Amino acid sequence: MKVLVVIPPENFRDEELAKPLEAFEKAGITFDIASTRRGQCRGMLGARATASLSLEEVEPSDYAGIVIVGGTGSPVHLWNNDMLVELVKYFSKNNRLIAAICLSPVVLAHAGILKGKSATCYESPSSTKEMLKGGAMLAGTPVVTDGNIITANGPAAAAEFAGAIVRAVKG
């Protein structure tokens, strides 16, 4: 089982990447990291990660699911990225796992896959507006699973988010 982890090229939230990757390694789940461009990416708290793929280079059929990390870089680099929205639609159409944390569930709303679904996100005026506009039913819990979609509200929920993904991938 292999998952695609997508991060903003700058200002991803460090724990939201670190905790899932740690959990994936422990569970024997392989992953690739992708971003809007290949190369070095920088976290909000100083972490570094290397994106081995740009979103354009991703072959979605190679992955059991997609995990989108948040942080303040998400609205800037991910929310309106057409390639990422298309990838999310692909994973949805093929009933594969879709997970997003913090500000990144907005990407799922923009892909139109949250209509009538329970979801959560880091609540800011703009993220809440976009989630509701996308038809999401916002839940007040840190991690929400609705079918093949897992959302989480921020860094404090990163470990629980990671556990939910591992359980979903391992079936």
What is the full DSSP assignment across 101-150?
Answer: ETTTHHHHHHTT--TT-EE-----HHHHHHHHHTT-EE-SSSEEEETTEE
CATH level 2 (architecture), domain 2-170: 3-Layer(aba) Sandwich (3.40)
Tell me the pLDDT tens digit for each residue of 67-89: 999 999 999 999 999 999 999 99
Round to whole Å and give the CA distance between 113 and 98: 10
> pLDDT digit string (tens) for 89-124?
999 999 999 999 999 999 999 999 999 999 999 999
Q: Return the structure tokens found at 88.
A: 């999310």
